[in-house]
Amino acid sequence: MNEQQGSVLVVDDDADVGRVIEALLVQAGIACRSVPDANSALAVLRERPMDVVITDLRMPGPSGLELLEAIVERWPEIPVILLTAHATLEVAVEASIKGAADFLRKPFDREEVLFTVRKQLGVARHDAHRPTLDVKHDPTASASPKMREVEDLIRRAAAGNFTVILRGENGTGKDVAAQAIHRKGPRQAEPFVRVHCAAFPETLIESELFGYERGAFNGAASRRFGRVEIAGRGTLFLDEIGDVSLPVQVKLLRLLQEREFERLGSSQTLKTPARFIAATHQPLEELIERGRFREDLFFRLKVLEIWIPPLRERPEDVEALAHRFCTESAENNGRGEMEISAQAIALLRNQPWPGNVRELQHCIERMVILSDADRLTVADVERQLAPTPAARTSRTDTLKGSVDGFEMEMIRRVLFEEEGNKTKAAARLKISRRTLYNKLAEYGFL
């Protein structure tokens, strides 16, 4: 078993189905475990993280949709694939509204299972995948004048039907802003469908967006509805659109202008009533000058442009965010009620936060996990911000010190980008998870 390719949890009351999928994935080098029901699946997820969950739709006890809702609530970063014998557009839309990443038709095809699972593993490696902030809260409620301007633009955007592009650094909350536009507008009861454009190579992004007919390419065992179709009268969110290749940009331009598309392998032109929101951290104007982004697509996207300021430009928001993350992290990690001191908040406010809101969230979660008290203090913050022993070693003039320092910083960066998921970090670093744990212990991360 090759853990570097990720891990999958299969949930199906038919033991034969679980065994077949488990054997198929293990043979392909993907770690896999199967359980018979939703309660067993939740117990497994509480014990250890999994990269992807595949669940049957109909099972004794909680259904697949109920399990999906529980996973989205507790582990929103885990893509969930639904297994169903009735893979209709209506099922796909309902599953999408509830947060499903994809679905597979029963009886399933071996190549399609591998294709779908590998696609979601790829998304998981590139993706924060779900909102950084809990969407039950108002993500735009802010003490910052700059964010109050953003809040006003979001409110205006929600009332309209025009295309919006959200811009700003990674980790600022563009995903959350897109969901706020959807939830505050007349389409709130319709699907909100997100496509992380950077997570897919050119050969897959088209099938993800537009769907495909059976036999359109190797692995296309049945008709698959694309994200445009599933969005229906809802919202299609094109995240990291600046990473899309030029050939795909041509098709996106047609989609936005004419609201037309075809499934791969089909000549039938389909129409979409969906609303479009895009986001990117890329400098699009520079990409246009270098010939890497179409100017006509840029102006089609730029009907309303909303810039989300980095956290360092809105330190007024740190206090509210810190309290929220402290409460949520304590609840999610079984710590009971926890609070954070005013002195600790003051220290957090003075940090540059290059990873923005997401970095602050992860910093506080680590403090919650590592603290033995029910109150986070300045000492907890200082421990998180202090250089590790390896970092101090790297400042020496020895060759080993320099190599260790480079290695430690690479591990720290990859772990941050993968939101602490050690399986994904090990895969990116091309080392085993055991080796990663040894390195973490050596460099003082554990």
What confidence tens digit (pLDDT) does each residue in 383-417 have?
Answer: 888 755 544 444 445 555 555 666 777 787 787 67
Write out residues in the chain with pLDDT < 70, as ranges: 1-4, 87, 123-141, 219, 387-406, 416, 419-421, 433-434, 437, 440-446
Could you give the 3-state DSSP secondary structure of residue 126? helix
Q: What is the pLDDT of residue 347?
A: 94
Tokens representing 173 are: 């909350």
pLDDT at 431: 85
pLDDT at residue 95, rounded to an integer: 80
Choices 3.30.565.10, 3.40.50.150, 3.40.50.970, 3.40.50.300: CATH for 145-309? 3.40.50.300
d(CA 153, CA 304): 9
pLDDT of residue 76: 81
Outline where 134-283 has alpha helix (H).
Answer: 145-159, 174-183, 202-210, 227-231, 246-258
Q: What local confidence, expressed as pLDDT, does residue 402 receive?
A: 53
How do residues 325-364 score in pLDDT, each as one tens digit?
999 888 877 888 899 999 999 999 988 887 888 889 889 9
Q: What is the reported pLDDT for 3?
A: 43
Residues 84, 86, 92, 95, CA torsion sign: negative
3-state secondary structure of 56: strand
103 in Cβ contact with 144 (< 8 Å): no
In this prediction the pTM is: 0.72
- Three-state DSSP state, 402: helix
DSSP string, 179-217: HHHHHTSTTTTS-EEEEEGGGS-HHHHHHHHHEE-TTSS
For domain 312-385, give its CATH number from 1.10.8.60, 1.10.40.30, 3.40.50.300, 1.10.579.10.
Answer: 1.10.8.60
If you classify domain 3-126 with CATH, what class do you get? alpha beta
Confirm whether 145-309 and 312-385 share one CATH topology: no
Residue ranges covered by each domain of the chain: 3-126, 145-309, 312-385, 389-442
Which amino acid is located at 13 in the chain?
D
